[in-house]
Amino acid sequence: MPNRRLVSRRRALWLGLASLTSIGAIATARAGYQSYYQSLDNPKRDFKVTGYAPLKKRAEAKGIIFGSAIRQDLLVSDSRLATSFAQQCGILVPEWELKWNILRPAPDKFDFSKADWLAQFARTHGMLFRGHTLVWYQVLPKWFNEIVNRQNAEKFLVEHIATVTKHYAGQMHSWDVVNEAIEPEQRRSDGLRNSPWLEFLGPDYIELAFRVAAQADPKALLVYNDYGLEYDTPTDEARRTAVLKLLERLKSRGTPLHALGIQSHLTGHETRFNPKKLQNFLADVASLGLKILITELDVVDQKLPVDAAVRDRIVARVYEDFLSVVLDEPAVIAVLTWGLSDRHTWLSNHAPRSDSASVRPLPFDSNLKSKLAWNAMARAFDNARKR
């Protein structure tokens, strides 16, 4: 029989050692965490801006368009937001109202009421209006799954694009004709994403969409829009390659494609940003005769320290570093954020913080006070070359 006293003494020793090791591990992890965030945050970096001119004016002075996505219900219910939006933005893009689920309550019915309200708001305030999006694999209405199939998909696609683009013909600055058609992780040789459109119509649905849009609205700039193109990671590299291949293929077939939209949902704690690689990609796109728009800019702060001052500095740094690189490419003609105020951002749901502090990814805080991210954007426009 083992000596009980000895066993319990040994156990105490082990427990003591174990807890020492875990305290050590926690301390090391904490030190690592601190030095990691110290490397992201430079408290001395100043984001000074001269004057109070709004972002749209600063951008305009360089031949660049600045604006944001917005929801109709927010502009209707929040007059302060509407005022700031009109002051700051030279272009408006509906965040929800031009998608299939809102526009197409039933297979034979179009409801333009909310999008028309936004078009009117843009007109009243001298803003450009931008369409998002005609072809996407997400937010298709419920009836779509029940009704659309291989036999009738082309009819639905053509009818949808022709009707919607005709409705706004002559009023649209640009249309995201096809959104997020690339997903190299799904391992097709052409890098295309599996979607109902691909399944029913094959890869040519993309070209078809652009041709129908160009015919109905020859004035709008026709854009292919996608995400995950910004960082020096294997995933983004694969996405850049696949997008470039798609753009080359479309251009070589004479498709009426005029621009690439780079969504630019950026990440505050991501350090793999390589200006040279991004610039090369932009130059490759421009060499195809395409313009470039930054279409959905925001900066995820999910994993940044809770201190709002630190978070805002890191987020602002990401804005300025990214914009100064992309605005160096003369083909970049527009910058849009995906929302203006932290009060209303898709990231509250999509990338919430584990400490439940509210997220701060946009140029204005939830009380519509401008943040360092606003300064960062103002500086990037002020320092940009004129187009």
What pairs with residue 129 in β-bridges?
92
CB count, 10 Å around CB of 57?
A: 16
Whether 296 is a known active-site residue: answer yes
Peptide bond into 133 cis (omega under 30): yes
Under rule CB under 6 A, residue 175 binds ligand 9MR: no
Residues 362 and 70: beta-carbon distance below 8 Å:
no
Nearest to 182 by CA among 265, 253, 239: 239
- Give Cα 194 distance to the centre of its chain: 21
In the bound state with ligand 9MR, the residue whose beta carbon lies nearer, of 138 and 194, is 138
Options 263, 264, 337, 375; binder of ligand 9MR; rule CB under 6 A? 263
Shortest Cβ distance from residue 93 to ligand 9MR (Å)?
9
Question: Over the range 131-144, which residues count as b (16 or more CB within 10 Å of their CB) and which as e?
Answer: bbbbbbbeebbeeb
Query: What are the φ/ψ torsions at residue 52 (nearest 5 degrees)?
Result: -120, 10
Under rule CB under 6 A, residue 139 binds ligand 9MR: yes
In the bound state with ligand 9MR, the residue whose beta carbon lies nearer, of 81 and 384, is 81
Residues 347 and 63: beta-carbon distance below 8 Å:
no
Shortest Cβ distance from residue 338 to ligand 9MR (Å)?
6
Shortest Cβ distance from residue 138 to ligand 9MR (Å)?
6
The piece of 51-59, 94-102, 237-245, 362-370 that touches ligand 9MR (CB under 6 A) is: 94-102
**Residue in the block written with tokens 């799954």:** 145
**Residue in the block written with tokens 């305009």:** 60
In the bound state with ligand 9MR, the residue whose beta carbon lies nearer, of 84 and 225, is 225
Site string for ligand 9MR, 280-319 (x = CB under 6 A): ----------------x-----------------------
Under rule CB under 6 A, residue 375 binds ligand 9MR: no
In the bound state with ligand 9MR, the residue whose beta carbon lies nearer, of 56 and 99, is 99
Under rule CB under 6 A, residue 144 binds ligand 9MR: no
| Tokens coding 170 | 């002559």
Nearest to 132 by CA among 298, 296, 297: 296
Tell me the three state secondary structure of residue 60.
helix
The piece of 92-100, 201-209, 215-223, 271-279 that touches ligand 9MR (CB under 6 A) is: 92-100
In the bound state with ligand 9MR, the residue whose beta carbon lies nearer, of 200 and 346, is 346
Under rule CB under 6 A, residue 99 binds ligand 9MR: yes
DSSP 41-57: --TT------S---HHH
Cβ-closest position to ligand 9MR: 346
Per CB under 6 A, contacts with ligand 9MR among 315-354 are: 346
| Tokens coding 319 | 């804005």
Whether 159 is a known active-site residue: answer no
Options 41, 95, 230, 342; binder of ligand 9MR; rule CB under 6 A? 95
In the bound state with ligand 9MR, the residue whose beta carbon lies nearer, of 49 and 93, is 93
Identity of residue 70:
I
Under rule CB under 6 A, residue 106 binds ligand 9MR: no
Shortest Cβ distance from residue 131 to ligand 9MR (Å)?
12
| Tokens coding 99 | 């998608």
Q: Terminal CA-to-CA distance of the chain, rounded, Å? A: 88
Question: Over the range 284-294, which residues count as b (16 or more CB within 10 Å of their CB) and which as e?
Answer: ebbeeebbbbb
Catalytic residue (one of 95, 183, 230, 296): 296
The residues annotated with a catalytic role in the active site are 180, 296
Q: By CB under 6 A, name the binding residues for ligand 9MR.
A: 95-96, 99, 138-139, 179, 263, 296, 346
